[in-house]
Structure 1
């Protein structure tokens, strides 16, 4: 956008200029969030201001901004008891020379300048940049008024105030929290221009009178600001086929660089007429220094089909959930060079003040990270066994493993048959992913007992192979391993010749990968092994499992092998989840 065009735009808007009187504004007692739609949140201001709503695309979606009507020095004042901090987003046109300063006062009469810093300016569009100002150091006690002063420049429109958040000193004895009921924008720091407030049909939404939603299918977002932000929980309503994975939460220390926040979410709770309520919450404490939370909707089905109800933010780093939780998240794998999804089961009453054993459950060929959780009802079974006192609390992780067999098959990630990802074998450093990415992430983000004695692996079919291979190649990391219908492969046609040759391209590789060979060559002293298989298994995996049990017996390695009626089927695996969890978590083991 040229300066000439920008000048015409601003001048056209200024035809309807409103002089802002000095007023006292009511605001939330713990925080002020001003998106500069009007002067309601200001304590006072000088007269030379107006509000500009033109070209929001040039201003990162800030649909309204506060602008001077001339290059004269102008100021605005906020009132909040015991101000702790502020974050003010500023937009400026390339070459702008306006100066912005901040002042604090205890009585709105005597002012002291507050030294401020701003983050790295980010180019937005057509010559416009944005940056956020915040205090350079702690604000002294007793500051109840904040003044923002803008002066200078050759064009009054070249610097615009986009959003402001002012927070107060929290009670030293209580964690700070803030709840937004989505009935206005006073609690949010900013929102995209396509986000609107929907107050229709509250009976469809468990009586929630208002929600934030989109007016279009373009991505929409709401941003919140809170000093020392640590936890959040949110009610999200989804209609029909709206994608739960298109609701994402991001955290940031500066409002510019964002990281995906791991979340847990409840199972869908039907309300009325096709709507479902899901409760999202932070999977663990947000990174230290977090001040911003962004809620983003990207589902392209219908803008209105995803709605944000009540959301609560808190500085409390310890939030105990009396129920078990399933947390769905994704982590970046350095070994594979891509994002990998996983589900984490946290037992009822999970607390960072207690440490827990970990159990990694691997899915089968063509499966995914949801198989154990959604299909095989691990959560329900674990909850029942815990309530009966039959197992000890543990964290259960169900990761995405693709059709990889959990081995280091190639230096780089690739698919053998990219045109058929469901059936293709997956190449890559999947063993390294488990031990260099996955396990360190879990141990650093959850309250685990990070020792061999309290780390277990299990799986079904291909996942059983992954578990056995992982345990037998890393006996210093794992103490218990279990497999149901584990793919202990002998060259009897149970795999296609292509699959077998990929898994064991030569004898040396077979000796390094095959659980049967590893059981003979590795030092497995102290390890405990569980195996079960269906007597009608269509892949005849009972043959390899029986051979493995015999080798373990001969070497004096603790193991149990069960041949049960059943096939290589969902029904068979579901019937044995209880026994598998008892092996890992039972007090007698």
Structure 2
């Protein structure tokens, strides 16, 4: 029995060494638009180390109050990097900046930073498929809104986009989660429609982009996600839409990322 147990333990460690061989590190990426640098977590798969090929990239956006470490701490994304041979990039969205270029906070330019500057840095410093078809972006909650918004605002950057439990209609929660720090039409002269994904979604008609949206049926964002789904259907914009049991929780998102990663890999260049 002792010998058998020892062999089982050795096999476990050998398999662990083989399976979990991704590399995760934090880099500081400068923003010309904001005049400072922000931390970004980058995960490369094991095959990256000795390969001369270029890899697709999935950008992962955190939710309100999060940072660049959330995805690797809370979900199995590092293992998925190895499984599918993709580079993962998780930027810091500065807690509550909603991934937009704010009209009322001139120092908050996260649409430019994440949608342009980080992508340029990653393509320059890593072996990437440096074109739209080789990039996907997704996120949870604030990050789900951010992923869709960035794809609309930077139509030549991302070929695939996902949203999990996305806060896709900020005006419904304008006094929550720091939204009024970066969006306030009464001060900027804008309209809430400028930040409502269902209103902006007609832009997808002019883009060749693959879309996947999901939300838990017990999530407080479920109705706005259903409205977005109906709007996309009404315009005949192809997309995957999924509702599952669950709420606004890491348990839901840790499960959801598995399906979204499959969706992205399906559409990446082979």
For the 8 Å contact 1:490–1:544, the answer to whether it is kept is no
Mapping of residues 51-450 of structure 1, within 5 Å: 323-350=21-48, 351=50, 353-383=52-82, 386=83, 391=84, 393-402=85-94, 403-410=96-103, 412-413=106-107, 428-450=108-130
- Cα separation, 2, equivalents of 1:457 and 1:367: 17
- Cα separation, 2, equivalents of 1:462 and 1:323: 30
Spell out, residue by residue over 1:366-408, the C-alpha distance to the aligned partner (whole angstroms, 9 max, x if none).
000001111112112443xx2xxxx4x2111001111110101
For the 8 Å contact 1:482–1:531, the answer to whether it is kept is yes
Shift of 1:500: 5.2
Equivalent position of 2:201 in the other structure: 519
Equivalent position of 2:231 in the other structure: 551
If each structure's strand is expressed as a fraction of its own residues, which one has the higher value? 1
- Cα separation, 2, equivalents of 1:408 and 1:588: 28
Distance 1:398 1:353, change over 3 A: same
User: In the comparison of the two structures, how many residue pairs are matched?
Assistant: 245
Q: Partner of 2:47: helix, strand, or coil?
A: coil
Q: Partner of 2:239: helix, strand, or coil?
A: strand
- Cα separation, 1, equivalents of 2:249 and 2:174: 15
- Cα separation, 1, equivalents of 2:47 and 2:258: 21
Q: Gaps (5+ residues) in structure 1? A: 1-321, 414-427
1:528 paired with 2:210, answer yes
For the 8 Å contact 2:31–2:113, the answer to whether it is kept is yes
Shift of 1:463: 0.6
1:471 paired with 2:164, answer no
Task: Give structure 1 regions of 4+ aligned residues with deviation exceeding 4 angstroms.
Answer: none
Structure-1-length-normalised TM-score: 0.39
If each structure's helix is expressed as a fraction of its own residues, which one has the higher value? 2
1:454 paired with 2:152, answer no
Distance 1:525 1:499, change over 3 A: closer
Spell out, residue by residue over 1:220-262, the C-alpha distance to the aligned partner (whole angstroms, 9 max, x if none).
xxxxxxxxxxxxxxxxxxxxxxxxxxxxxxxxxxxxxxxxxxx
- Cα separation, 1, equivalents of 2:77 and 2:51: 22
- Cα separation, 1, equivalents of 2:145 and 2:55: 25
- Cα separation, 2, equivalents of 1:588 and 1:436: 20
Q: Gaps (5+ residues) in structure 2? A: 1-19
